[in-house]
């Protein structure tokens, strides 16, 4: 008998896959097994992995998938808003699932450790997004406002 937690996690990931497939089709992108696997790996992780780390995860099921394929898919998924790239400070881009209800489940800010480059989610409930007045946007048509809090994570503080 499977534990209840596993059933819930399974149901959640099935819902995520369905939402993802629907989003892809609505944006004219075909839903391939590899694409599903890449999204599932991202949605199942809160570590904001790099393309290389994602490649290592997805290869467990698709041993022949190339890093170039991972990059191509990430770019296609980023273009339709299913994946978002998480910032600078990193030489390599870092990614996360960004459909409502997947990954962190909702828009959020990030706390980034300047030592180990770990990225943690910071919910908007703990830090309401800054309201940007029209005159502050300097003529930009604002699509989103992201806050990145930089500092030393608890692990790195302990190691110091
Ligand atoms: Zn750290
Ligand atoms: Zn995040």
Share of residues in the chain with pLDDT > 90 (%): 46
Closest-lying ligand to the alpha carbon of 153? 1
Distance CA 39, CA 18 (A): 11
CA of 157 to the centre of ligand 1 (A): 7
- pLDDT for 116-137, tens place per residue? 888 999 988 898 888 777 777 7
Closest CA to 13 of 42, 33, 34, 35: 42
Closest-lying ligand to the alpha carbon of 147? 2
Closest-lying ligand to the alpha carbon of 87? 2
CA of 90 to the centre of ligand 1 (A): 13
CA of 83 to the centre of ligand 2 (A): 11
CA of 48 to the centre of ligand 2 (A): 6
How do the domains of the chain map onto residue ranges?
A: 1-106, 107-160
- The CATH H-level superfamily of 107-160 is Ferric-uptake regulator, C-terminal dimerisarion domain (3.30.1490.190)
- Residue 64 · residue 80 · CB < 8 Å: no
The per-residue pLDDT for 1 is 45
CA of 160 to the centre of ligand 1 (A): 10
- pLDDT for 30-78, tens place per residue? 999 999 999 999 998 888 999 999 999 999 999 999 999 999 999 999 9
CA of 1 to the centre of ligand 2 (A): 34
Closest-lying ligand to the alpha carbon of 154? 1
Indicate the fold that domain 1-106 takes in CATH. Arc Repressor Mutant, subunit A (1.10.10)
Of 1-5, 54-58, 101-105, 113-117, where does the model show the most confidence?
54-58
Burial 67-99 (b: 16+ CB within 10 A, else e): eebbeebbebbeeeebbbbbeeeeeeebbbbbb
* Band (88; pLDDT cuts 50, 70, 90): low
């Amino acid at each position: 008998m499977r534990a209840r937690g596993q059933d819930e996690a399974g149901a959640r990931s099935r819902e995520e896959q369905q939402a993802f497939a629907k989003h892809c089709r609505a944006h004219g992108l075909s839903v391939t097994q590899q694409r599903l696997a890449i999204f599932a790996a991202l949605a199942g992780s809160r570590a904001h992995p790099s393309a290389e780390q994602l490649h290592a995860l997805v290869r467990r099921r698709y041993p022949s998938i190339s890093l170039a394929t991972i990059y191509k898919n990430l770019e296609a998924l980023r273009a339709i808003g299913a994946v978002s790239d998480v910032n600078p400070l990193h030489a390599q881009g870092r990614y996360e699932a960004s459909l409502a209800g997947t990954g962190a489940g909702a828009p959020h800010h990030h706390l980034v450790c300047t030592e180990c480059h770990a990225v943690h989610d910071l919910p908007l409930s703990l830090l309401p997004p800054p309201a940007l007045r029209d005159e502050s946007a300097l003529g930009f048509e604002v699509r989103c406002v992201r806050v990145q809090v930089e500092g030393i994570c608890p692990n790195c503080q302990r190691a110091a």
